Amino acid sequence: MAACRAGLPGFDINVTDYGDGSLVIDAKRGNPRVLFNVHMDTVPVAEGWSRNAHELLVTEDKAIGLGACDIKGAAAVLFAVAAATDAPMHLVLSTDEEAGQSTCIRRYLENPPDVDLAVVAEPTSVKPILQHRGIVSNRLTFVGASAHSSETGTKSAVHDAARWTVAVLDHPNAAPNRLNVGRVEGGVKPNMVAASAEILFGFRHAPGTDHNALLADFDALLPEGAERHPRFVGPALPSDSDGKAATAQTGAARMIETFGFEPGDPVDFWTEASLFAAAGVSATVMGPGHIAQAHTADEWVALSDLAAAFTAYERIVSHG
């Protein structure tokens, strides 16, 4: 908080603690019509870092460090814009986007802000994005029976999990919707039949795709006794089931044109911009960096991208 107060001169700053590490820092100066949202949390340190991930290294062309690309570089740029101008400005900083629940923004939007546009910072090479995929995450549990592996006919939870994985990856809707089996666990030893197993999987559906229909297809492949436990659903942008979100994105397109930007192509990753749109708040995704550098070892963002983001964000702030 001390860093926020020092870096945001003239801002009224309010902090809301939603518990479990979910904090919203709402910083406002004047009465701006545009809100900037940045998540300040990061993923854990990936394997393969060549240096301390928590120490920022700035070279002649890059800033290297955990979260530099996703998306602390944008936060640094916005603080720089705040210091360079005394124009009205509104920042909403959150702390749980990477946790996979989005408690901060979901709770914040229970009382949607009265703004014309929310700019959600994510790595888009400073191109304003108006469409992206949704995300659905689930846990599967499989049940077998403990037995000696020399016994035949005993139901193995691990075997069931393996068969489901092969079947779902071969499903015609798997690849187009970016299905990923991210974690498989189960069993004890190679000479014991597994009594239990667990899979974490998710997919990213395009706007206009019914994610419930996809889940029904994947559920149909589950063996007897297996159960699916929902973890997280993030709507596509705009939401395929909410006319309010589509209306909000029409407004976002108009705002982008007003600022003189050309919208970029839809992206395959999910962002909390869809939550703003679902709440009726026009939203665009725009920030420095490229998604290929996010969540990687030696994560980095180009200094040229940070400079471009400064110019773009300052244009928006100065426009009023």
- The pair of three-digit structure tokens given for residue 110, joined into one six-digit string: 């229970």
Residue of 17, 19, 92 lying closest to 279 (CA atoms): 92
Catalytic pick from 97, 122, 272, 299?
97
- The pair of three-digit structure tokens given for residue 33, joined into one six-digit string: 């019509």
Following DSSP, what letter does each residue of the chain receive, concatenated?
Answer: -HHHHHHSTT-EEEEEE-STT-EEEEEEES--SEEEEEE---PPPPTT-SS-TTS-EE-SSEEESTTIIIIIHHHHHHHHHHHH--S-EEEEEES-GGGTS-HHHHHHTTS----SEEEE---STT--B--B--EEEEEEEEE---EETTSSS---HHHHHHHHHHHHHTSTTTGGGT-EEEEEEE-S-TTEE-SEEEEEEEE-PPTT--HHHHHHHHHTTPPTT-EEEEEEEE--BS-TT-HHHHHHHHHHHHHHHHTTPPP---BSS--THHHHHHTT--EEE--SS-GGGTTSTT-EEEHHHHHHHHHHHHHHHHH-
Q: Is 314 in the active site?
A: no
Burial, 186: exposed, middle or buried (Cβ in 10 Å; 0-12, 13-18, 19+)?
Answer: buried
The length of the chain, given as a count of residues: 320
Which residues have a catalytic role annotated? Answer: 97
